[in-house]
Amino acid sequence: RHNFDWKLIIAQIYQESHFDPYAISTKGAQGLMQLTEAMATEMGVTDTFDPHQSIDAGVARLKNLYDFYDNATGWDRVYIALAAYNVGVGHMLDARNLARKMDLNPDRWTSMVKTLPLLSQYRYFRDTIYGYCDGKQPLKYVRRIRSCYDILNYHHPGP
């Protein structure tokens, strides 16, 4: 429905919850797609532990993020959307603004790999809108999804 490769979604679900529909994160996110209370409300989810609702809402949220970053292309766009799913649009805005200040292209994943980790350093996050961020976390998140996707793609090539 949202034109994502099913293997990418499976890889994301694995990273989010390890396929446990009753998973709860230390920050309170729930279900297969680790929906926050705010995201669940925004997406009309009544039961975050219902796999159908969780996946529908999580994939729709990823699609919204993918559409939002429409200046990025190809896998850069996918990775930026995934990172935003993990760390939030605000911290991605800060990382992208920092990329611009450093004369890096904010629509390239390689730029985000450089700027996101800087958001944990005071000299960088003090001038941001959204403040401190453990910028290494979304990098690990995307890397793990990519690894899982690569394994799935190896065993199930094609759509």
- Per-residue pLDDT reduced to its tens digit, 103-158: 999 999 999 999 999 999 999 999 999 999 999 999 999 999 999 999 999 998 87
> What does the mean pLDDT of the chain come to?
97
- Per-residue pLDDT reduced to its tens digit, 3-32: 999 999 999 999 999 999 999 999 999 999
Percentage of the chain modeled with pLDDT above 70: 99
Confidence check: pLDDT of 159 > 80: no
Dihedral sign computed on CA atoms, order 60, 61, 62, 65: positive
Task: Estimate the share of the chain in helix, then strand, then coil, as percent rounded to the nearest 5.
Answer: 60, 0, 35
Confidence check: pLDDT of 40 > 90: yes
Tell me the C-alpha distance between 110 and 112, whole Å.
5
Is 16 designated active site? yes
**Does residue 35 sit in helix, strand or coil?**
strand
Among residues 7, 9, 15, 16, the one annotated as catalytic is 16
Q: How many helices (H) and strands (E) does the chain have?
A: 8, 0
CA 150 to chain CA centroid, nearest Å: 17
Res 2: pLDDT: 86
